[in-house]
Amino acid sequence: MPDRTPGTPVRVDPRGQRFAAVLTSLVLLLVLATGSGTLLAAQAVVFALGAILGLRWSPYGWLYSRLVRPRLGPPQEFEDARPPRFAQAVGLAFAAIGMVGYLSGATWLGIAASAAALTAAFLNAAFGYCLGCELYLLTVRSRTRLGHG
């Protein structure tokens, strides 16, 4: 369950983000191996649920909280949920582009978008480096510098 005190952003277990990245990587590998726009659409739904409703409502977040986290015990630290939610939105954008490619016959576009999403998911799964989270932080810093934050 996310750690939250009134007035603070939702905080999540970072191990759950890596677990989700592993599952996402596996799904995207299957998409690339099969060229399935339908499977990519299913991954897009997972991204959309995490981005729109929150990480705990993502199917991968649900699996982590029910099956994995109880075996690991409580995390030593939590992280702000906003960067990983933004990363889910970025993943959704790439999945949508890839779906358009696969389903319209522009297979090269489907492959390129799926490969880009796989690269980001793999970086998180293998190394704990969330590319979408870094993009979120750059966006926030840019807005702050421009006086919009």
Q: Looking at the 3D structure of the chain, how many domains does it have? A: 1
| 4 in a structural domain | no
- pLDDT exceeds cutoff 70 at 102: yes
The answer to whether the CB of 88 falls within 8 A of the CB of 135 is no
Burial of 73 (0-12, 13-18, 19+ CB in 10 A): exposed
The answer to whether the CB of 87 falls within 8 A of the CB of 137 is no
Range of the domain at 65: 11-145
Amino acid at 55: L
The answer to whether the CB of 27 falls within 8 A of the CB of 122 is no
| 25 in a structural domain | yes
| 21 in a structural domain | yes
Q: Tell me: the pLDDT tens digits for 47-97? A: 999 999 999 899 999 999 999 999 999 999 999 999 999 999 999 999 999
| 87 in a structural domain | yes
Q: Tell me: the pLDDT tens digits for 31-59? A: 999 999 999 999 999 999 999 999 989 99
| 6 in a structural domain | no
Amino acid at 74: P
| 84 in a structural domain | yes
| 2 in a structural domain | no
Q: Tell me: the pLDDT tens digits for 129-140? A: 999 999 999 999
| 3 in a structural domain | no
Q: Which pTM value belongs to this model? A: 0.90
The CA-atom distances, in angstroms, between 146 and each of 21, 114, 133, 140 are: 32, 33, 20, 10
The CA-atom distances, in angstroms, between 75 and each of 12, 66, 72, 104, 134 are: 9, 14, 8, 44, 22
